[in-house]
Copies of this chain bind each other. A is one copy, B any other.
Amino acid sequence: MATKNGRLLFNEVPTGYPIPGKTTVYDTTSTIDLDNEPLNGSILVKTLVLSVDPFLRGKMRSPEKKSYSPPFFLNEPLYSFGVGKVIRSENPSFKVGDHVYGSTLDFTEYFIPKDASKLTVIVRPAPTLPWSVYVGAAGMPGQTSYYGWKEYAKAKAGETVFVSTAAGPVGSLVVQLAKQDGLKVIASAGSDEKVQFCKDIGADVAFNYKTTNTAEVLKKEGPINIYWDNVGGPTLEAAIEHSALYARMIICGFISEYNGEENYGIKTMRNVLTNRISINGLLVWDHEAKYKDEFYRVIPQKLASGEIKYTEDVTRGLDKCGEAILEVQKGLNKGKKVIIVADD
Contacts and interface: CB of A to CB of B under 8 A. Distances in A.
A67 B270 contact: no
B273 A254 contact: yes
A286 interface: yes
Contacts of A292: none
Contacts of A276: 68, 280-283, 286
Interface string A212-243: 00000000000000000000100010000000
Interface residues of A, number: 30
Nearest to A258: B270
Nearest to A270: B254
Contacts of A272: 251, 279-281
A257 interface: yes
Given A265-B265, A265-B266, A251 B273 contact: yes
Contact of A277 (B254, B264, B267, B281): B281
A62 interface: no
A217 to B, nearest CB: 20
Given A232-B270, A257-B270, A270-B254, A275 B281 contact: yes
A280 B281 CA distance: 12
A278 interface: yes
A252 B273 contact: yes
Contacts of A281: 272-278
A266 B266 CA distance: 5
A263 interface: yes
Contact of A265 (B251, B267, B279): B267
A263 B270 contact: yes
A268 interface: yes
B232 A274 contact: no
Nearest to A286: B276
A265 B264 CA distance: 7
A278 B250 CA distance: 10
A77 interface: no
Nearest to A247: B281
Given A254-B270, A266-B265, A266-B269, A280 B278 contact: yes
3 cross-chain pairs, A with B, having the tightest CB-CB distances, nearest first = A265-B265, A263-B267, A276-B281
20 contacts: A67-B274, A68-B274, A232-B273, A251-B269, A251-B272, A252-B273, A254-B269, A257-B270, A263-B270, A264-B265, A264-B267, A265-B265, A265-B266, A266-B267, A272-B279, A273-B282, A274-B281, A277-B280, A278-B281, A279-B280
Given A254-B273, A275-B281, 13 more contacts: A232-B273, A252-B273, A257-B270, A265-B266, A265-B267, A266-B269, A272-B279, A272-B280, A273-B281, A276-B281, A277-B280, A278-B279, A279-B280
Interface of A: 67-68, 232, 236, 251-254, 257, 263-270, 272-283, 286
